[in-house]
A and B are shown apart, each in its own frame.
Chain A
Amino acid sequence: MLDVAVWRGTTEGSFEHFDVPRSDSQTVLDVVTYIQRHLDTTLAYRFSCRVGVCGSCAMKVNGVARWTCRTHVSSVAGDGHLEIAPLDHLPRLRDLVCDMTPFFEKWTRAGGAFVPFEPPETTVKRGFAAIDPLSQKRLEAEAGIECIGCGVCYSECDTVGRLPEYLGPAALNRAWTLTNDERDGRGASRLRAVAGDAGCHSCHTQMSCSERCPKRLTPAASIAGLKRASALAALRGKL
Chain B
Amino acid sequence: MTHPSRETWLWLIHRGSAVAMLPFVAGHLILMMLTVRSGLSAADILGRTQGSVSLVAYYGFFVLFVSVHAALGLRTELAEKLGWRGNRLDLAAATMGLLLLATGGRAVWAVYSVSA
Contact = CB atoms under 8 A, between A and B. Distances in A.
A233 B79 CA distance: 25
B11 A231 contact: yes
A234 B12 contact: yes
B2 interface: yes
A18 to B, nearest CB: 38
A197 B79 contact: yes
A209 interface: no
Contact of B5 (A165, A198, A239): A239
Contacts of B12: 231, 234-235
Interface string A187-205: 0000111111111011000
Given A162-B80, A163-B79, A163-B80, A201 B11 contact: yes
B9 A109 contact: no
Contacts of A109: 1
A194 B11 CA distance: 13
Contacts of A233: 8
B81 A201 contact: no
A162 B80 CA distance: 6
26 contacts: A109-B1, A162-B81, A163-B79, A163-B80, A165-B1, A167-B1, A193-B4, A195-B8, A196-B7, A197-B2, A197-B7, A198-B1, A199-B4, A201-B7, A202-B80, A227-B11, A230-B8, A231-B8, A231-B11, A234-B5, A234-B8, A234-B9, A234-B12, A235-B12, A239-B4, A239-B8
Interface residues of B, number: 16
Contact of A201 (B2, B8, B80, B85): B8
Interface of B: 1-5, 7-12, 76, 79-81, 85
A193 B7 CA distance: 12
Interface string A139-173: 00000000000000000000100110101000000
Contacts of A202: 76, 80
B3 A196 contact: yes
B1 A197 contact: yes
B3, B4, B5, B12: most-surrounded residue (chain A CB, <10 A): B4
A198 B76 CA distance: 10
Contacts of A196: 1-4, 7
A110 to B, nearest CB: 9
Nearest to B10: A201
Contact of A195 (B7, B76, B81): B7
B8 A197 contact: no
B2 to A, nearest CB: 5
